[in-house]
Amino acid sequence: MAYIRTQEGDSHSVPVAFVQACGLLRNMTEVFGDETTDDPIPLPTITAAQLREVLRFDSLAFAPCVLEDHLQAKSALDCLDLWRLADYLDHEPLEQALVAHLADLIRYSEPARVMELFQIQQPPTDEELQSAVQRYPFLQEN
């Protein structure tokens, strides 16, 4: 087992496989030492609740059908929050599963449905759209 210190200052045991699946944690073990030591890896921006949630889905990340069933039960915003957390931790298998799920949610959806899913109050302005296309060129329509 490895240990992580969350935002609240509490230490939580996590499987070593989880540490190895997360690029951020792998890199931190190089700085703080072996992941199996009793010294917890500090994650001051992650709450205990967030850690429990990502650990729950980490165990499902390698079983796509089961993971998809669990994701279907979550709101789009919850999935987006989980993706942000997986991205922060650099948990690539979970990131990929969440991106695929989010893409399926919006694929072929009308803009009004996407706005409803993600609780967007107003459509983006022209400036926001131009900024997004500059930042993410793949958004440019052909």
Is a pLDDT exceeding 90 seen at residue 32?
no
At 86 the pLDDT is: 93
Whole-prediction pTM: 0.75
The string of pLDDT tens digits covering residues 53-94 is 899 888 776 677 788 888 888 888 888 899 999 999 999 988
Q: Which CATH class is domain 2-108?
A: alpha beta
- Which helix (H) or strand (E) segment is 128 a member of? helix 126-135
Helices and strands, counts by H and E, the chain: 8, 3
* Sign of the dihedral through C-alpha 134, 135, 138, 141: negative
Q: How do the domains of the chain map onto residue ranges?
A: 2-108
Secondary structure of 97-113 in the HEC alphabet? Answer: HHHHHHHHHHCCCCHHH
